[in-house]
Structure 1
Amino acid sequence: MHKDGPRLWDDTLMEAERIATDSKARYLQLPTPDREAEMQRTRSQFFLLLRERLRNTYLRRISKLNPGEPLAWKYISGRKRASLPPPTSLLLGDGQHTYKTARRAANALNRIFFPLHPSHKAVRFSKGIKRQNPSLGIVSSSLFGQQNNNESAASFTSFSSTSSSSEPQNNYESAATSNSVFSFSSSSEPQDNNEAVTTSGLVAHLHSPLDAPFNRTELLAALRNTPYGKAPGPDEVYSEALRHISSKGFRFLLRCVNHSWTTGTIPAEWRRATIVPLLKPGKSPELLESYRPISLTSIVSKVAEKMVLKRLLWVWTPHPHQYAYRSMRTTTMQLAHLIHEVEHNRNHYFQVNLPKKSGIGNQLHYRPHRTLLVLVDFSKAFDSIDHRVLSRLLANIPGVNCRRWLRNFLCGRYAKTRVGNRNSDRRPMLRGVPQGSVLGPYLFSLYVHPLLNLLNSFSGVTADMYADDLSIIVKGQSREDAIPTANMVLKKLHAWSQENGLAINPSKCEAAWFTLSTHTESDYDREGKWPLVVAGCKIPVMTMGASRTTKLLGMDLDPRLTLNVAATKQCAATSQRISQLRCMAHKEAGPSPHDLRTFVIGYGASKLRYGSELIWAVATDSAKNEMQKTYATLARIVSGVPSTVDPESALLEANMPPLHVLCLRARLSIFENTRACQMDWMRRPPPEPPPRAGFRISPLSRDELYAFVDAYTKDYGITQSSPREERFFRSSIPPWFAASAHRVTIGVELPIDHSITDEEELTREKRRVSEEALALHSHRLWILATDGGVDVPKSAGVGILLSSLNSSEIIEKASINCGARPCSYRTESRALLLALERLIIPRIQHRRKTLLVVTDSQSLLAALNKGPLSQTDWTEDQIWQRLLTLTCAGWSVHLQFCYGHCGIHANELADQYATQTIETGQYTEQGIAPLWHTDLLTCFTTQLTNKWRSTIRQDTHRYLLCGTRPSDLSGKDLITQEVLHRQELVHLARARCGESGLWGRLYWAVRDCTNQCRFCNISPEQSAYMRSNNDPTAPGTDTVPPSARDEDVSPVRRRTVTRRRKEKCPYCDSTLTGFSNLVSHCRSFHPEHPPPLPELKCDFCDMVFPTRRSTAQHRNRCAHNPDATRHLNSSARRRSLLPQDQPASTSTPIGPQETLHHLLLECPGTLAVRQRLGIEQDLRTEKFSQWQLLHSRKLLSLLDHLFGTQMALYS
């Protein structure tokens, strides 16, 4: 039985296997031609049934998929793997006691997960907590800024836009927008009729806009960001139920959240958690300490937390050196910061006077600075937070409701552990932030905010954190200089940790000393002279020559920081996943190439490419080559081609970009991110080199990278100094300002009949549904039509204002130059933003306040349909800002999609104006629109890919057939549009690459024969054999019998000539093929006689050899043997027509090579087959192209006719 699927070995298959086994045994007992034929027949039937079962099993798996579920993930989830035993099936213990029941085990685990110490007491959050505590070093202005409860919305908005110096904020640009924000915020917020607004909520709103009740736009954004498939909490409410909640339930949920927000009361179920123990990797399942607690909290509570978090992040920005839980911050950015610091220190030199070799006097030398990295680990950091300290930090939040809600959210929390179906007693959570919650990580980031300020205040010290992983970078001339500084910093860190309730785990702390060479260090400055100590324990320092490396955020760091070790380990880890992928990518029952490519990129290539933008900058060429080989192996798995295919052809078959292109693209992206974040370490000037040769340039130098990028993008007019569009950090729209978003409606979908195939009829259908959708909004008094056009190197985004849908009079126009190489989506979005800002916002005070926006960009409207608080791009965020400005002024706006180029009057006028603007180059706006980050990466990637394609080897089989065009991964026959199964797709890919067991380079290598075309160079032996079998295509035959004209004319449809020696039985009259069959015959039928001895003497020259194998090899090539062969194949011999001196290599071209290009287009021997199958005529009449033929069953039919019945094994 299969573990996760239907039964595979059913009775029919087992019976076929038994019959095949019995027939093989009968043949071995008495080898006769009849029994051999029966054995082959039964084995073929068995393998046919087996392939059918595999295919049907795979189809049944497909039928069980949910709509939209990725195929490859579902398929690999059914593979057999060792499952972990549940805790209920084990006798859990802690070394002293053994718990035999699930409830006792749950209580024991609960005591370990939530220990109670005498010092732990429940904290009562009082209202009189001071907002500043000098002993803790907490300054309110450093976290939230000075904020008064009675301040107006205008001061609050201005504060929030300047509170953070680490990220540029998106301020309101137009005066109309600012006025609408201020006027709206100063009055009571308009609420829906069904929204309950309590008196306390209104009072809080008058004091601070942060305390305003939540609106339904905020709730919609929170529900939209709630993922599917999450386990429910104690209330048993699933996320799927909330995502499909009714309108009445939606209003009730909003009233519940607003009541909790305005009164500060948290429902009890929101503060409960169910803990599920999960075994840690590599730990013993019988010990309680081997389990990790997984907290399941209420999904409804998570939705409310997301709404609170949106507002909290408007008044508080995490520390710049905290790389977790922040937009545009990643683990690789922290690693890039470390590499930059190390390289920057190496490029700063100090002078030392050392004795000369002669011993007379001293000589001035330059030495680079070294870097010490200390990695600090906190024991249960999230569970050890002191609520009193966190309450003092929360006291600086400007909102009354927000402070009260967060404090009540922390207190009164309980958790219970579930083992099997039994639950433990509930246990209070007196410390820490709730795990499994949305606010927990951000509250921890707020908790360690003062710590990062403290550590980064020391000279020559930089401290970074990713969640609770702390890394301290110390610059020094030697260990004598760096380690005392690090000890001083660790002492301050230990004191702060004790004062704030965190505990350092010295056993998991480690350090690394980055240097180029140990020859420049003095004898006094060796390991052990200057120990690194934290909390009274010594921390090991990894130096050059150490047996182990330091790992930071999953990346192994060597002392030279070349990242060669990281590249090697990532290749090894990817190789394990390659083994799993090969089990899934079966050539007969595997997924389609498209699904398999998606899974290979997400599961295999993602592991290999982690940190590749850093590895590609500092690693050696050998490490890069190893990564490229592993990446090529992943590409071969997608298409199913063998390992002998060259990497370039494998990448084109899998439609995967080269690895170096992806790495350089990621490297440019991380530089653009650091540039947008305005990080201090990116603004540093390059160091001055010392007066000596061999000055080292930092491998992450932005000047070097941008010079490399400018060389590729200068043709598009893009340089390092080109203005960039602002990057999106957070929404420029305050959450409480989005209450009127319901007055903006968006029509995205226009369903049409997809069964229509005629182009004219399809155009009429598109026009009909577009006119019907627009007719519903024809009463609106303003019509705004936008369109974007791209004609490289020109582009334009335009907008026109009309008085009605059918009016030809344009009231006003606006256009902007979108750059040399923008995408169509960018031109459409810039056109809509420009039209709203220049054509509609100046008319905001007009008495006519109904607007209809017509556009043919469905992707833009789909992005805007996510709502104002769910945008992830700056332009879309600015569009929503203008729309909300209109709605706050009383406007009603509808954005409607219509099909383009189908006769819609408003859209046609906008399209004509866009075309005219591109041709004339006359724009109403001065300058060029800022460059979009995605367009920059696309241009750079396109240029790199084109250069790579221009350097591809042109002597490969695939290049001769397809050039540099990537293969089609739709999995369909491009001629008939029928779906091809995996076996056919794999064989077509191998045929395009020239790798097959029946012909091509792989055939030449295995058979050890020449690479001549067997249809153009038929040997005399083949001709004689074909004439003896009345083959009409044999050379010298003048006529073709009529009976043979309708049959296959292929010269290879013949029996296989065997070279195995005929052996006569010494005890009977039987003659057997091969000595092994003779021995089996004698043991079966003549057991009373001894087995015969092998003949070790040649039959032609009387030479004696030591083994039977060497004798047979000599006999086949003996000069006295008239039938001597020059190859190792078991099929009909093919001798070259050239003299006897054959080339040493089988890849040396001799005459026309037997390639698919030659067989398909040039070979006269295959012309008759091509004509009979209609391929020659269809290609000549352009019924289908050569590209379509290479992805169709016609090619398989041609190969089957050419190479005989052996093709049945493949197709």
Structure 2
Amino acid sequence: MCADMKPANSTTWRTLQNIVSTPTNLVVEGGREVPLTTAANHLVSFFKKKAVKHPEAKEPQAPPRPTSMFRAITRQELVDALRYIKCHRACGPDDVYNEALVHLPKVARTALLRMFNRSLSRGIVPREWKRGTIVPFLKPGKPAGKVESYRPITLTSTMAKLMERIIHGRLRHLVTSENQAGFRAGMSATDVLMWLRAQVQPTSASKTPRTSAVFVDFSRAFDSVDHDLLLQRLQKLNVDPHLAHWTLNFLTDRQVRVRMGHRHYSRTEVFTCGVPQGTVLGPLLFNIFMEDLTADLNRSGALHYFYADDLTIVARGRDLELVLKQALDMLSHWPRTHFMDVNVGKTNVCHFRSRRDAPVLRYRSMELENVETPKLLGVTFSKHRGFGHHTKSMKNKSLKTLIKLSAVSNTLLGASRDAIRCFHLALVSSSMQYACPAWFGIASDTDLDTMDSVQAHGASLACGLPATTNTYDSLLEANVPSVSEKAKYLTFKAFLLSSLRGGPRAANVARCFPPSSEIGKLHTEITAAYGSVEPLADAPTLNHRIIIRPWTLEAVTKEMDDAVKKKVSGEAVAHRHPADHEVWTDGSYIEDTSSVAGAALIFKKGRATKQSLSVERGARAFAHNAWLYMPAYVALSPTSASTVVSVS
């Protein structure tokens, strides 16, 4: 069986997952194992208790029937939503798979679009779309015998998810805060971790002020979202009444049941609070709900960053104790009005690089635990400089996985060499390289050597080499890069991307990687061959991609004249920032003059203007457009006839 394991086979990964993962199909009650159906009933009762409306919360009042003009869902919105559907995913209670929706013929898509518009115009969600099946996932490091150790992930109707994706496209522009990185395009957990590193990392220019951070853990955050307050928030943001009415109906009277194994189900329960985890719209609604807290914390003067429901508050300088107390006082008031609790037992504080007696911080008269190795989003920081604790935890985790992986790596009867190598890269190497921009440059050479030795151990396992084989030889034989080299590449890539995006993220990477650092020196060395590499000072920076609301543009149909189609297309392009244009070139350049020819098509107020370009010192940037994404970073020196200030 092991010899037939292939990375491209889904059965192989399911078998490997059963070997590597911890069993999660048993719930122990009173020291004894219970049947799966009984366990499912225990879990659904526990999840329902978490999603019960607060006694002081008001019942959501259905908004009045919308009188504004209904903005129908366009066929293009449906096509865009179908394009983002992922196949080979689990179906919901209706047993409709994504593959069926992707391959719908034109007539069926028209009928589906008509049904979506009818649902949105009336603000009514079909009952089948509000049914869900909860698949409990064991939280990392939690005992499988306790019901509170499981995270509820809901499987819902695939047609409901398709409709949610369309609604998501019309609501996502409401989340504008730079302090939320969870569930947002172009942002990830690495942004939060690099932000924290930038705050606590000492600078050589001057004496670094004292820095303290509070890591806040919310209890039942997604399950505590009050529907009435969420509706008020949507109305405050002037959301289309049809969208607000549909969203409230989508969240009301949701019926769920828990599935254990493949065919053991619990009884059906009705949830009256919260946003369902596992849906497309749930995370966005949660971010919208938390925008009020972000605004309150900004007024307190404390720096903070969200990743979904993980909140980190940072204060620096002499008044950090006062600033953190004000932030905690504001944080204690907000849950009372929004019916969301803070788990004080899991909320802790760390005073970085402080050798004096740490100030005592309290939340509602309860003292917060002072820790020296706080853990945020899977990365363990240290009170003092270094990442030794994170390295140790990654080593222990990786070695446990390698021990389990050795069960299928016999040189005679085990899986093939390429298969084991693929398993190692997916299960071990990727976990060690996780969020490497947050620790690369701070981790010591000893830490890097430790992770490289674990990488070499996995490489030796894949190739069937003796355990005493040299680290370099093992990596070379398996064609696997060392963790230090891969982390350096990924960190440099993140450095360039964050620098291009500008704003707070560019400031964070500039602080994390000054010119004297290894990444800073590498950047200087590479960009020296490109002439002028100063940032584009004249062009405003776009932190996020421009989102054009589809209902603000005139709908285009195939019956329209070409002139009308061209006009509407020009208006769509004009929504982009006037300083952001595309330049086309064949990549050729003149060696003697170091110049290159290009052309740009610029839309201004719906009218197209053609311009020819002759760019000095930009030839190599065009010709070597695949080398470390440098064309997007090089500041070109256009001639007097050119007004283009950015290159894509």
Residue in structure 2 matched with residue 1137 of structure 1 by the alignment: none
Inter-CA distance 230–81: structure 2 relative to 1 (3 Å threshold): closer
Q: In the alignment, which of 272, 279, 296 is matched to residue 437 of structure 1?
A: 279
Match of 1:215 in 2: 74
User: Compared with structure 1, are the counterparts of its residues 330 and 793 closer, same or farther at alpha carbon in structure 2 (3 Å cutoff)?
Assistant: farther
Deviation digits for residues 370-399 of structure 1, max 9, x if unmatched?
111111111101111122221111012343
Give the SS at the match of 1:294.
Answer: strand
Cα distance per residue 1:870-892 (max 9 Å; x no partner):
xxxxxxxxxxxx9xx9xxxxxxx
Matches within 5 A, 1:313-352: 313=172, 315-343=173-201, 349=207
Match of 2:89 among 230, 235, 241: 230
Which of 705, 727, 730 in structure 1 is aligned with 2:545?
A: 730
Q: What is the root-mean-square deviation in Å for CA atoms of aligned residues?
A: 4.2
**Contact 1:345-1:370 at 8 Å conserved across structures:** no
Question: In structure 1, which of residues 392, 395, 414 is the aligned counterpart of residue 232 of structure 2?
Answer: 392
Matching residue of 2:209: 369
Quick one: distance in 1 between partners of 2:620 and 2:540?
5
Partner of 1:73: 13
Residue 536 (structure 1) shift: 2.4
Contact 1:531-1:539 at 8 Å conserved across structures: yes
The 1-side partners of 2:419 and 2:630 are apart by: 27
Q: Sort the Cα spacing of 1:570 and 1:817 in 2 relative to 1 into closer, same or farther, 3 A.
A: farther
Q: Would you say the 8 A contact 2:36–2:260 is kept in 1? A: no
Q: Is the 8 A contact 1:564 1:615 kept in 2?
A: no
Q: Does 1:570 align with 2:570?
A: no
Q: CA–CA distance in 2 between the matches of 1:642 and 1:94?
A: 44
What is the match of residue 644 of structure 2? none
Please give the TM-score of this superposition, normalised by the length of structure 2. 0.79
In 2: Cα distance, 1:443 partner to 1:605 partner: 34
**Alignment partners' CA distance in 2, 1:680 and 1:80:** 39
1:482 to 320, 324, 341: 320
Equivalent residue for 1:1109?
Answer: none
2:351 alignment partner in structure 1? 513
SS in 1 for 2:349: strand
Deviation by residue 1:533-587 (Cα, 9 ceiling, x = unmatched): 11221111124xxxxx211111111111422211222122222222233333332
Give distance in 1, aligned partners of 2:437 and 2:21: 33
Which of 1 and 2 has greater Rg? 1
Over 3 Å counting, the alpha-carbon distance change for 1:98 and 1:227 in structure 2 is closer
Which one-letter code corresponds to 2:326 in the other structure? Answer: M
Displacement of 1:307 after TM fit? 0.8
Residues matched between the structures, number: 596
1:503 maps to: 341
CA distance in 1, matches of 2:458, 2:590: 36
1:540 lines up with 2:369 in the alignment: yes
Aligned mates of 1:684, 1:612 — CA distance in 2:
15
SS class of match (2:218)? coil
How many angstroms apart in 2 are the aligned matches of 1:309 and 1:281?
30
Contact 2:52 2:271 (C-alpha < 8 Å) held by counterparts: no
Contact 1:217 1:741 in 2 (8 A): no
Q: Which has the higher contact order (CA 8 A, sep 6+)?
A: 2
CA distance in structure 2 between the partners assigned to 1:728 and 1:369 by the alignment: 29
Structure-1 residue corresponding to 2:626: 935
Which residue does 2:405 correspond to in 1?
Answer: 581
Contact 1:93 1:288 in 2 (8 A): no
CA distance in 2, matches of 1:587, 1:741: 62
User: Could you tell me how far 1:708 is from its partner in structure 2?
Assistant: 2.9
**Using the alignment, how far apart are the partners of 1:80 and 1:312 within structure 2?**
39
User: How far does residue 227 in structure 1 lie from its aligned partner after superposition?
Assistant: 2.0
The 8 Å contact of residues 563 and 619 in structure 1, kept in 2 or not, is answered as: yes
State how far apart, in whole Å, the 2-side matches of 1:422 and 1:604 are.
33
- C-alpha deviation, 1:496, in angstroms: 1.1
Kept after mapping to 2: 8 A contact 1:616/1:663: yes
The question of whether the paired residues in 2 share the 8 Å contact of 1:72 and 1:595 is answered with no
- Give distance in 2, aligned partners of 1:633 and 1:435: 38
Shift, 1:120, TM fit: 5.1
The DSSP-based 3-state class of the residue aligned with 2:628 is: helix
Cα distance in 2 between the residues matched to 1:82 and 1:309: 35
Distance in 2 (alpha carbons) for counterparts of 1:735 and 1:931 = 35
Partner of 2:433: 609
Q: Once the two structures are aligned, what percentage of the paired residues are identical?
A: 26
Instruction: Describe the shift of the 1:788–1:299 C-alpha distance in structure 2 as closer, same or farther (beyond 3 A).
Output: same
1:508 shift after superposition = 0.9
In 1, are the aligned partners of 2:585 and 2:597 still within 8 Å (CA)?
A: no
8 Å CA contact 2:499, 2:505 repeated in 1 = no
Q: Is the 8 A contact 1:223 1:303 kept in 2?
A: yes
Cα offset, 1:261, TM superposition = 1.8
The amino acid that maps onto 2:62 is F
Counterpart-to-counterpart distance in 1, 2:501 and 2:9: 36
- 1:82-129 CA distances to partner (integer Å, 9 max, x unpaired)? 744456xx6x5799x99995786476446435446544554223339x
Give the Cα–Cα distance (whole angstroms) in 2 for the partners of residues 684 and 936 of structure 1: 24
Shift of 1:612: 2.1
Q: 1:685, 1:664 → 2: CA distance?
A: 14
Gaps of 5+ in 2: 561-582, 632-648
Output the CA distance in 1 between the equivalents of 2:402 and 2:590.
Answer: 43
CA distance in 1, matches of 2:245, 2:493: 41
Aligned-partner Cα distance in 1 for 2:418–2:509: 47
Return the letter of the residue paired with 1:501: F
Does 2:495 correspond to 1:666?
no
- Structure 1 residues 931 and 467 mapped into 2: Cα distance closer, same or farther (>3 Å)? farther
Given the two structures, how large is their TM-score scaled by the length of structure 1? Answer: 0.44
Could you report, residue by residue, the CA deviation over 1:407-441 in whole angstroms, capped at 9, with x for unpaired residues?
Answer: 32223333334567565554332221222211111
Matched residue, 2:637? none
SS in 2 for 1:377: strand
1:675 to 1:276, Cα distance in 2 relative to 1, 3 A: same
User: Do the aligned residues in 2 keep the contact of 1:509 with 1:539 (CA within 8 Å)?
Assistant: yes
Alpha-carbon distance, 1:248 to partner: 2.6
* Aligned counterparts of 1:793 and 1:663: Cα–Cα separation in 2: 37
- Per-residue displacement from partner, 1:729-787 (whole Å, max 9, x unpaired)? 4355544559649899xxxxxxxxxxxxxxxxxxxxxxxxxxxxxxxxxxxxxxxxx99
Counterpart Cα distance in 2 of 1:276 and 1:613: 33
- Alignment gaps of 5+ in structure 1: 6-56, 129-199, 350-367, 544-548, 687-697, 745-785, 796-814, 819-833, 846-881, 886-922, 941-1211
Aligned to 2:523: 709
Q: Which residue is 1:23 aligned to?
A: none
CA distance in 2, matches of 1:596, 1:235: 38
C-alpha contact (below 8 Å) 2:51/2:274 kept by paired residues: no
Give the structure 1 partner of residue 575 of structure 2: none
How much does 1:236 deviate? 2.5
Q: Name the CA distance, whole Å, in 2 between partners of 1:484 and 1:267.
A: 51
